[in-house]
Amino acid sequence: MAVRAINPISRTYRHINRYLDIIGILVKYGFGEILAKLGLHKHLDFGKGSILGKAAAEIAAASGWERARMALEELGPTFVKFGQIMSTRPDMVPPELITELQKLQDTVPPFSTADAKRIIKEDLGSSVDLIFKHFPDSPTAAASMAQVYKAILPDDDVVAVKVQRPNMNQIVEVDLEIMRDLATRIKRHYKEQDAVDPVKLVEEFARAIRKELDLRIEIAQIERFARIFPSDVTIHVPKVYRDYSSSKVLTMEFIDGYKITDITKPEVLVCDIDPKVVASRGADLILKQIFEHGFFHADPHPGNIRVLADNVICFLDYGMMGTLSARHREDLADILIGIETKDERKVTRSILKLSGHRQFGDEEELESDIVEFIDVYAYGSLKELELGNLLNRFVDVITEHQLKIPRDFYLLVKALVTIEGVGRELDPDFNAVEHAEPFAKKLVLARMNPQRLIKELYGSVVETGMLIHDLPYSLNGMLRQIKQGDVKVKFEPTGFEHVLNTLDQISNRMVFARVLASLVVGSALIVLSGIPPKWHDIPVIGIVGFLSAGLMAFYLLFSILRHGRL
């Protein structure tokens, strides 16, 4: 579902307070000039003059990137999530800003347990006292989108109950519509940013955050994750209780264990947990998810990983998952193998294939950069090679040549960089490249499997046969359309946004004026008719009509004067 545009009526009555809050926060952190350039001082008719005049001396010492991060934190959960997702997109966001966005805090004060119980009752159809044997008075954790309670079911199962914040859907939808309005203005006024479409960016973000708002999607992702590792003793996937879950409530097995970065503490080392084994297993599990299944946990930071007895690993929070198709996994494997074998042609072809470019204008320049890239990373010691640096530099090369790659590839890079950092913290000798190499080679060798080759050959023959079978009909249809003059040329004019907006504004004012005139005429007729109730022998309804017409006329005149056109 696309994000709706804000029309003048909805902007006045539905969004004005939130819009003013957002502008006030942005001005507070020093972005008033940008807002003025976006034309908001002409389009917001209430209170904008005082807002744009505010000073932000208390944050003057912070850098622009720091102020952007602080502003997002104060703007609330929708904007925090936007910043967190943008921190995984180096193709769109400057490195300095990414560094700040990675610091975004997703912790907020908890909402009341009474509200949580009300949401559970509304969604599950029964009161908390009937569903749970015990439900605590306070949550164990609170985040911007939801908070978690440690409860007990009637059969004594200990569960974690994730409850979405009240009115979260409405809050996010209003914020998304305002973000789309801001993106439209940025696209109109900052033509130099054509490489990145801000409206498309907001639409992509809207799809991601709406998925997170529906906890049923997270339930499905947990169950899919469990099917990937049905008999793997190195990993534990939490059990989901579907009968006690809904779109706003997620009930799952409560996982205790140890936070992965705490297992090096002396009191944990005596509990039969080996940090080196955990580091190795954690890396292998992430690599299995990526190369073998194409479905991976995209946010494996220390807070989302628990270590259980016997070095068993458990991932938490399955709201952000990444997917890679079989073709994209093979392209990634080819790139890693090409770097290892110092084959710049193979790496270049694989990058172009991954980005969807079969031919590329500056292929020689791209290959030259790949040669330099390989010289830096492939000729050193494998033990000294860091997968995080390699992948980040690889993304830099792709970004410099303005190539587009699957968006989940950036989540993959983030996951691998994160797990490498955790692995090195647990084991100083940990090397992620040594773990990734066998998975890449296995995927490349699988491509030469005779059974697969026969299957692909059979598929190609079938496709060719269907093409040959349909070709005469397709050609006949094309010739018939040409003969009948039904061939149409699609023409999309650009640069008329300002004209269309002006026409839209004119039509809105004409409708407004007609409604105003009708209200005046109707009120006059009511006054002349003498319909009770009356005040000083004048019908009250007529008085209300004339007052409403006067206010509307004043608002219309005020709006025209504010836009500088009488």
Q: Would you state the pLDDT for residue 40?
A: 73
- Residue among 209, 180, 312, 300 at smallest CA distance from 258: 312
Contacts of 259 (CB under 8 A, 6+ apart): 302, 303, 305, 306, 307
pTM above 0.85, yes or no: no
The pLDDT tens digits for 395-419 are 888 878 878 778 788 888 888 888 8
Q: Which of 171-185, 244-258, 384-398, 442-456 has the lowest mean pLDDT?
A: 442-456
**Binning pLDDT at 50, 70 and 90, where does residue 357 land?**
low
**369 tagged catalytic:** no
* Options 299, 331, 369, 427, the catalytic residue: 299
Q: For residue 169, which amino acid is it?
A: N
CA distances (Å), 411 to each of 6, 299, 320, in order? 31, 8, 9
- The mean of the pLDDT values for the chain is 79
Q: For residue 110, which amino acid is it?
A: P
Please name the residue that has the structure tokens 């907020």: 108
Q: Which two tokens stand for residue 132?
A: 């749970």
Please say if the pLDDT value at position 160 is more than 80.
yes
Q: Would you state the pLDDT for residue 501?
A: 65
Please say if the pLDDT value at position 4 is more than 80.
no
Domain regions of the chain by residue span? 8-107+170-211, 257-446, 452-477, 497-562
Q: Would you state the pLDDT for residue 128?
A: 95
- Residue among 409, 417, 412, 408 at smallest CA distance from 387: 417
CA distances (Å), 445 to each of 133, 334, 427, 448, in order? 54, 11, 30, 5
**Ramachandran quadrant class, 430 (left: phi over 0; alpha: psi -120 to 50; beta: rest):** beta
**Binning pLDDT at 50, 70 and 90, where does residue 45 land?**
very low
DSSP state for residue 110 in the 8-state scheme: P
For residue 308, the surrounding DSSP H or E stretch is strand 305-308
**Binning pLDDT at 50, 70 and 90, where does residue 135 land?**
very high
Q: Would you state the pLDDT for residue 52?
A: 42
